[in-house]
Amino acid sequence: MTTHEEHAHPQLGFVRKYIFSTDHKIIGVQYIITAMSMAVVGGILSMLMRLQLGWPSAPSPTLEGIFPTGFAGGIMAPEFYLSLVTMHGTIMVFFLFTAVLTGGFGNFLIPLQIGARDMAFPFLNALSYWTFLLSCITILGALFVEGGAPLGGWTAYAPLSALPEMGPGQGDGMTLWIVAIALFTASGLMGGLNYVTTLLTMRTKGMSMMRLPLTQWALFITAILGTLAFPVLLAAGILLTFDRIGGTSFFVPAGLYTASGVAVEHSGGHPLLWQHLFWFFGHPEVYIVLLPAMGIASDILSTFARKPIFSYRMMVYSMSAIAFLSFIVWGHHMFLSGMNPILGSLFTVTTLLIAIPSAVKTFNWIGTLWGARIQFTVPMLFAVGFVSTFISGGLSGVFLGTSASDIALHDTYFVVGHFHLVMAVAPLFAAFAGIYFWFPKMFGRMMNMTVGKVHFWISFIGVNCVFFPMHAMGVVGHLRRIYDPTQYLFLEPVYGMNQFISIAAFILGGAQILFIGNFFASIWLGPKAGKNPWNATTLEWTVPSPPGHGNFGPELPVVERWAFDYGLPGAKEDFVMQTEAPSRVESGSG
């Protein structure tokens, strides 16, 4: 991050300033770049998965060179495929999105958008990043230990995850997985503590809660979600660890037959308990990923629609409603787990309830575009992409939420299609939008917008080719987490589709190289950016790009209005900064 050279602080040495910094902007960027590297790993893993799914067990000596064990004999081993799936899911959910959206954008934007000089607890903030980095290293370590990475999926269902004898990778690999998740949880909690405190106590004068940009609301609610959800995962992880190394039996019932004979020392545990604990965390987690994306997309949509967001209050209320409901829907992952069917019905009701606030948001985004004057910048394109993919994925969630139709679709690619559209693609697009949008504020330079456009068009077409057809496969019955679909005759109709998806996925993956290249090239070569390249209204655009240490200079800004005064009649320009006093606007000197 040597780009900040021009803002040297006499007092601080390079290392203090850019490596072990406690400046929220630096930490934000550190989060983003780390998460990005994790994304590349996760992306490559998924490409390997697609290779296997498209052309099952096709011999490839080259890969054998790279993964001698995983590709022993030039053909991918089943357990290797499954460890790819596990690592891909884990890395993408936690180490890409949770990290980039809350850790990255959260750190970078919160103080800048609420008019504070830094986070409430800068040191804790730095600590949270370094813990996160440690957890990244730990999870990657799982790929290299003896037995390889865990093969139990990112949901780590017990008893498969509870007894090392249950499969390769369930030994050291699984242990590392748990440690990594625990570290990640700790880091996430430190971050959340900081966000909530900062957002509540450090807003500048005039920045009432109802004047916050929606991104800030989203981050606020997300932080609370994390504070409530992460500890439960931690508790589950602790119990699981004791089952694995302490010989306790929380998740392990009596008399299991393992590779090494009967597991006599265990008795009395309950496998479904893990699922309940995991999903009590897991479902809020998916909204921890989605909410910040929603916030970012809302702000960017309004900015480039040059029109106020439609129904700001309902946006805030619906986000809160989603957050609340996300704690009482977890059972929708367990309809067929043997859980009491009565609960199944209850969870169906709560699950479909969530569709209502989501509907509200969807309608409001569309309403925002009604009568707008849309500027099709790259961030805007991605924001629209977000809305579209969220609708697709969200609606397919309704099939799953209805317990009766979930019987056919559970654990098929319908689910995979659903959550990729809504959790992989939508937040990814929002993240891309955010990066293109705030890059100038981060590095003082613009990204290359031509490359950006190409990146968008390929990605947009790509994701729809990759993930939408998965629903059709799921309807036909294509099971998830299977190494070789050609095992099943009833899947015959979708063999071809698998290849199509794989090819599309390779193109999609390739397109991401454009983004990464663009990102790093622009840090040094991008055209210099002014204070407010997008004519946006929020506080971060009132200061130079990038802002100096302390963000705002001697005087903190004073907020006079909400963040969405685009196209205000009577104003000189089609946007009014949050710091403009009403009087000054009437006199037209905006």
Restricted to residues 245-284, the positions that interact with Cu ion (CB under 5 A) are 283
Query: Which residues 311-370 are close enough to bind ligand HEA by CB under 6 A?
Result: 332-333, 351, 354-355, 358-359, 362
| CA within 13 Å, CB half, 29 | 24
Report, in angstroms and rounded to the nearest whole number, the Rg of the chain calculated over CA atoms.
24
- Give the shortest CB-257-to-another protein separation in angstroms: 5
Query: Which residues 378-397 are close enough to bind ligand HEA by CB under 6 A?
Result: 391, 394-395, 397
Closest CB to Cu ion among residues 283, 410: 283
Q: Which does 509 bind (CB under 5 to 8 A by kind): Cu ion, another protein, ligand HEA, none?
A: ligand HEA
* Rounded Cα distance, 548 and 11, in Å: 14
- Give the shortest CB-81-to-Cu ion separation in angstroms: 25
Query: Which residues 358-377 are close enough to bind another protein by CB under 8 A?
Result: 359-360, 362-363, 366-367, 369-376
Asked if omega into 159 is within 30° of 0 (cis), the reply is yes
Residue that the structure tokens 């106590």 belong to:
201
- Give the shortest CB-36-to-another protein separation in angstroms: 26
The dihedral formed by the CA atoms of 109, 110, 115 and 121, expressed in degrees to the nearest 10: -130
Residue from 480, 486, 544, 573 that binds ligand HEA (CB under 6 A)? 480
CA angle 510, 515, 521 (to 5 degrees): 125
* Rounded Cα distance, 57 and 301, in Å: 45
Find residue 156's DSSP bridge partners: none
Query: Which DSSP string do the residues of 210-271 spell out, in sequence order?
Result: GGS-HHHHHHHHHHHHHHHHHHHHHHHHHHHHIIIII---SS--SSEEETTEEETT--S--H
In a 3-state reduction of DSSP, which class is residue 575? strand
Residue 154 has phi, psi (to 5 degrees) of -70, -10
Instruction: Say whether residue 400 binds ligand HEA (CB under 6 A).
Output: yes
- Give the shortest CB-326-to-Cu ion separation in angstroms: 8
Q: Please identify the residue of the shown chain whose CB is closest to the bound ligand HEA.
A: 394
Q: Which residues contact 155 (CB under 8 A, 6 or more apart)?
A: 275, 278, 282
Residue from 151, 162, 193, 505 that binds ligand HEA (CB under 6 A)? 505
Query: Which residues 62-101 are close enough to bind another protein by CB under 8 A?
Result: 77-79, 82
Q: Which does 416 bind (CB under 5 to 8 A by kind): ligand HEA, Cu ion, another protein, none?
A: ligand HEA
Q: Which two tokens stand for residue 548?
A: 């100096």
Report DSSP state, residue 360.
H
Q: How far is CA 417 from the centre of its chain?
A: 16
Closest CB to ligand HEA among residues 39, 543: 39
Q: Which two tokens stand for residue 523?
A: 């840090």
Residue from 26, 29, 48, 49 that binds ligand HEA (CB under 6 A)? 49
Instruction: Say whether residue 43 binds ligand HEA (CB under 6 A).
Output: yes
Closest CB to ligand HEA among residues 388, 542: 388
Q: In terms of DSSP H, where are the helices of 247-340?
A: 271-305, 312-325
Instruction: Say whether residue 89 binds ligand HEA (CB under 6 A).
Output: yes
Instruction: Say whether residue 262 binds another protein (CB under 8 A).
Output: yes
Q: Which does 381 bind (CB under 5 to 8 A by kind): Cu ion, ligand HEA, another protein, none?
A: another protein
Residue 238-257 contact track with another protein, rule CB under 8 A, x = bound: xx--x---xxxxx--xxxxx
Q: Which two tokens stand for residue 249?
A: 């039996």
Q: How far is CA 119 from the centre of its chain?
A: 22
CA dist 352 to 88, 244, 400, 475, Å? Answer: 28, 37, 10, 20
Residue from 30, 46, 275, 545 that binds ligand HEA (CB under 6 A)? 46
Q: Which two tokens stand for residue 299?
A: 């702000």
Query: Which residues 507-546 are close enough to bind ligand HEA by CB under 6 A?
Result: 508-509, 512, 515-516
Find residue 559's DSSP bridge partners: none
Closest CB to Cu ion among residues 196, 325: 325
* Rounded Cα distance, 428 and 286, in Å: 13
Of the candidate spans 14-22, 111-119, 199-207, 398-406, the one that interacts with ligand HEA by CB under 6 A turns out to be 398-406
Query: Which residues 96-155 are close enough to bind ligand HEA by CB under 6 A?
Result: 97, 100, 153-155
Closest CB to ligand HEA among residues 190, 435: 435
Q: Which does 91 bind (CB under 5 to 8 A by kind): ligand HEA, Cu ion, another protein, none?
A: none
Query: Which residues 248-267 are close enough to bind ligand HEA by CB under 6 A?
Result: none
Closest CB to another protein among residues 307, 420: 307
- Give the shortest CB-518-to-ligand HEA separation in angstroms: 11
CA dist 338 to 272, 331, 406, 444, Å? Answer: 8, 11, 14, 56
Instruction: Say whether residue 403 binds another protein (CB under 8 A).
Output: yes
The dihedral formed by the CA atoms of 316, 36, 305 and 391, expressed in degrees to the nearest 10: -60
Instruction: Say whether residue 211 binds ligand HEA (CB under 6 A).
Output: no
* Rounded Cα distance, 508 and 241, in Å: 38
Please give the residue ranges that form the binding site for ligand HEA (CB under 6 A): 32, 35-36, 39-40, 43, 46, 49-50, 53, 85-86, 88-89, 92-93, 97, 100, 153-155, 286, 289-290, 332-333, 351, 354-355, 358-359, 362, 391, 394-395, 397-398, 400-401, 406, 410-411, 415-416, 418-420, 422-424, 428, 431-432, 435, 466, 480-481, 505, 508-509, 512, 515-516
